[in-house]
Amino acid sequence: MSLTINAIECWLVDIPTIRPHKLSMVTMGCQTLTLVKMSCSGGVVGWGEATTIGGLSYGPESPEAIKSAIDHYLAPLLCHQPFTGVEALSRKMNSVVKGNTFAKSALETAFLDAQGKTLNVPVSELLGGRLTDELPVLWTLASGSTEKDIDEGHRLIAEGRHRAFKLKIGANALQTDLKHALAIKAALGENIPVHVDVNQAWDMTTALLAIPQLFKGGITMIEQPIPLHDQRNLIALSQRVEATLLADEAVPDYHCGFSLASGGFTGAFALKIAKAGGPAQVIKLARVAQAAGISLYGGTMLEGTLGTVSSLHAWSTLEMKSGTEMFGPLLLKDDIVVQSLEYRNGHVVIPSGPGLGVEIDTDKLKHYSRNE
């Protein structure tokens, strides 16, 4: 089946968060979603999303740059072109545009959505077929206050919405962060999994000092403790500590994944569709990890429902032994879809309709879209 792309439109959508969300590099009070509408042959429309964290605080692509790359480079390249499948689309984009994986991920998602609607199958079927209809999902406690985080954790456990948590640390002095993390873990109890995300804030010496203390306190997974470029020390660290190291920024794609795995990395990989260039591209990284015996974790860029669902379709085709964090829509005060995702019993339900299985609320899209 060949699908011709007739037109591509792009919006920047600003939605406030339910509370300040504190990371090591930025505190967020609003999230910007870059949304794509892809109009294809036969009147089929596909939707995609690219979302980053804190403008340019997280990585080299800002929301404005993502939209510019799509509007001025990728849309003209793809429009009025027929594509037999997502790999042909990816090859075309990569042959002309270097990097810009967030922009490419939005377009790959929109194409898969359109293709799924054309064939009347969910995106998960296009990616290999789902193994499950729901996935575990943790919640990140990142208010910046130990007491508020403990109260929030207890409330969400009582509501049955989440049974596992992640903490953002690295912005404060080491002992302050350790005291904060260990206090939350102790308050939530030994049966509630808690891991910490350092977002590259430590050096090797600090990591070797901190990780044994966290592990002793019951925190058994540490996400990206040192800079992404320090691959040699990340590998060595994974072999020296008892806790599981979760590589995130260090594994944007399957090339980096292969380099880490072949070097002897013993932790887990955090998959993110935006880093890899799309749902189909992140599956390639997952296959490298699986071949090396490395566990998989479903990561988020704090996307809205479109980006979250796109990721969920990919994760549903894999064994996510280390869990997922697909809570992005819950952090936003609103969203631009008609029907919100269902979160229940520590899990999120994956839509089963054609394509992504979600419908855009055009009134909300108009309301939250940035005037330029």
Number of H helices, E strands in the chain: 15, 14
What tokens appear for 43 in the block? 């009147």
Instruction: Give me the helices (H) in 44-139, please.
Output: 63-69, 75-78, 86-96, 101-119, 123-126
Enumerate the β-bridge partners of residue 298.
271, 324
Q: Which residues are catalytic?
A: 168, 325
Question: How many Å apart are CA 290 and CA 273, to the nearest integer?
Answer: 17
Contacts of 325 (CB under 8 A, 6+ apart): 137, 138, 139, 140, 166, 297, 298, 299, 300
Enumerate the β-bridge partners of residue 296.
269
What tokens appear for 120 in the block? 């009347």
Cα angle 112, 115, 120 (rounded to 5 degrees) comes to: 120
